[in-house]
């Protein structure tokens, strides 16, 4: 399925409508972040996109203008060498401006002030994230394709890669070969700043219980203090090891998120089997709540407050000191999008939002149990795109 001008115009119309509700006095939205440019233009270039309250837009591209014209259905694209060029084109007046406060730097703001007459400044990040949270049929198409490949990767291909004596880095290298062979678009993207991943988190045994800076339930040793999220440490896979694989997949920019755990060369210990089944049951219970009108914060409270003391132990964390405070997160052009199944997210779910649910539980002395699957919000509850969740896959 190809991106159309009609699709881009519909996205822009929804954005403008929500901007009018949030900032009635706005005049111009300035879009600089690459993923947001891709969402509104269909290309990802070094440029600046201006969206006007009246409904039109202007995309100035420094590099590569030729690539932008070839990839984007938009017609309002012009080559620029600096902001001065686009300022001359639009008269140099932006009025009351809304821009991306999460990513725009002070240096960029100074360049904008130098070249344009600007009134008030507001941050539009919540508006864009809300607009992007509801997926169109085009976006659902690519998320479904990603989910199909994602399921095959973690449930069919990865078990065949596991071999005694391999390191976590060996496994990630093999997974990367499979990712690219299956059409993966090549880079994990997060809205949250300073998140750096190869393609996900791989952990053998208790390595997956080592806390890291990443805001997720699982952990990892990392290759060095300079990279806490890469696979490393030299630990070699041996019989009895639990293998934790939290890996993203993406096509045409759209990500699904999935986690699968494997047990290598041994039968499943009772404590580990119980922890995995607990997470599977919680996944099904939470997925059933992914319906239009449900409130994410209420889902979170209902699920977490119903847990026993034993179930809460090491739930959503490598231990009780390193736990995250969510059950799931939106995904799309970023791996961490709206909505989030957590306290503070009180706006109701809408049909065709896409949410990755990830109930996980650290098991001391063994590793990380749990699952993650990506769902579309529907009137019948969450429709899974990535397989539906499996118990521990025994290998060897």
Q: Give the model's pLDDT for residue 215.
A: 82
CATH 3.40.350.10 fits 5-131, yes or no: yes
Give the residue carrying structure tokens 């809304």. Answer: 98
Q: What is the DSSP letter of 207?
A: G
- Contact between 36 and 100 under an 8 Å Cβ cutoff? The reply is yes
Q: CA–CA distance from 98 to each of 66, 84, 171, 202 (Å)?
A: 28, 19, 44, 40
- Within its chain, how far is the Cα of 51 from the centroid? 25
Helix, strand or coil, per DSSP, at residue 90: helix
Residue 283 confidence (pLDDT):
98
Q: What pLDDT, on a 0 to 100 scale, did the predictor assign at position 393? A: 96
Return d(Cα 39, Cα 253) in angstroms, integer: 9
pTM of the model: 0.95
Q: Beta 117-123 vs 367-370: how paired, if at all? A: unpaired
The dihedral formed by the CA atoms of 115, 119, 125 and 126, expressed in degrees to the nearest 10: -170
The pLDDT value given to residue 228? 65
Half-sphere exposure of 156 (CA within 13 A, CB side): 11
- Count CB neighbours of 34 within 10 A: 16
Domain with CATH 3.90.230.10 in the chain: 134-395
For 276, list phi and psi in degrees, rounded to 5: -65, -40
Domain with CATH 3.40.350.10 in the chain: 5-131
> For residues 214 and 115, what is the distance between their CA atoms, to the nearest angstrom?
38
Which runs of E-coded beta strand occur in 84-166? 93-99, 117-123
pLDDT at position 194, please?
Answer: 76
CATH of domain 134-395: 3.90.230.10
Q: What share of the chain is helix, strand, coil (3-state, %, to 5)?
A: 35, 25, 40
Asked whether 136 and 371 are in contact (CB, 8 A), the reply is no
Q: pLDDT truncated to tens, each residue of the chain (396 aa)?
A: 999 999 999 999 999 999 999 999 999 999 999 999 999 999 999 999 999 999 999 999 999 999 999 999 999 999 999 999 999 998 899 999 999 999 999 999 999 999 999 999 999 999 999 999 999 999 999 999 999 999 999 999 999 999 999 999 999 999 999 999 999 999 999 998 878 778 889 999 999 999 888 888 988 887 777 776 666 668 899 999 999 999 999 999 999 999 999 999 988 899 999 999 999 999 999 999 999 999 999 999 999 999 999 999 999 998 999 999 999 999 999 999 999 999 999 999 999 999 999 999 999 999 999 999 999 999 999 999 999 988 999 998
Burial class (CB in 10 A: 0-12, 13-18, 19+), 225: exposed
CA distance 386 to 258: 7
Name the DSSP class of 51.
E
pLDDT score, position 133: 98
Q: Tell me how far apart the alpha carbons of residues 168 and 174 are, in angstroms, rounded to a whole number.
A: 10
Output the CA–CA distances (angstroms, integers) from residue 184 to 38, 41, 71, 254, 336, in the order listed. 17, 21, 19, 10, 18
Closest CA to 84 of 41, 105, 113, 104: 113
Q: Write down the residue that tokens 């300079």 correspond to.
A: 226
Q: Assess contact for 123 and 56: CB atoms under 8 A.
A: no
Q: Which helix (H) or strand (E) holds 277?
A: helix 270-287
């Amino acid at each position: 399925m190809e991106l159309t001008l009609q699709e881009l115009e519909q996205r822009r119309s929804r954005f403008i409508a929500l901007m009018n509700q949030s900032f009635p006095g706005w005049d111009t939205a300035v879009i600089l972040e690459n993923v947001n440019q891709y969402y509104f233009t269909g290309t990802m270039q070094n440029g600046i996109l201006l969206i006007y309250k009246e409904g039109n837009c202007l995309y100035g591209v420094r590099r590569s203008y030729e690539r932008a014209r070839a990839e984007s259905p938009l017609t309002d694209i012009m080559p620029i060498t600096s902001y001065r060029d686009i300022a001359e084109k639009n008269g140099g007046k932006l009025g009351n401006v809304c821009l991306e406060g999460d990513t725009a730097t002070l240096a960029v703001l100074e360049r904008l002030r130098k070249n344009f007459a600007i009134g008030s400044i507001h941050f539009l990040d919540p508006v864009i994230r809300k607009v992007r949270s509801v997926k169109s049929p085009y976006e659902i198409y690519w998320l479904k394709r990603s989910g199909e490949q994602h399921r095959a990767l973690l449930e069919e291909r990865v078990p065949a890669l596991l071999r005694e004596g391999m390191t976590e880095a060996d496994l990630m290298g093999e997974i990367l070969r499979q990712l690219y062979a299956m059409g993966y678009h090549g880079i994990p993207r997060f809205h949250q700043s300073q998140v750096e991943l190869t393609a996900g988190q791989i952990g053998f045994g208790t390595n997956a219980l080592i806390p890291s800076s990443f805001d997720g339930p699982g952990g990892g040793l990392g290759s060095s203090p300079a990279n806490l999220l890469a696979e490393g440490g030299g630990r070699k896979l041996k019989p009895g090891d639990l293998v934790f694989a939290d890996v993203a997949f993406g096509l045409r920019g759209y990500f699904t998120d999935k986690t699968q755990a494997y047990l290598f060369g041994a039968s499943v210990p009772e404590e580990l089997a119980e922890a995995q089944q607990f997470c599977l049951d919680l996944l099904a219970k939470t997925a059933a709540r992914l319906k239009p009108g449900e409130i994410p914060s209420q889902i979170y409270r209902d699920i977490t407050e119903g847990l026993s003391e034993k179930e809460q132990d090491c739930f959503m964390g490598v231990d009780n000191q390193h736990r995250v405070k969510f059950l799931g997160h939106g995904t799309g052009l970023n791996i961490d999008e709206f909505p989030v199944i957590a306290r503070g997210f009180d706006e109701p779910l809408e049909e065709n939002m896409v949410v990755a649910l990830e109930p996980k539980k650290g098991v001391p002395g063994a590793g990380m149990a749990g699952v993650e699957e990506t769902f579309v919000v529907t009137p019948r509850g969450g429709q899974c795109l990535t397989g539906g969740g499996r118990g521990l896959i025994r290998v060897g």
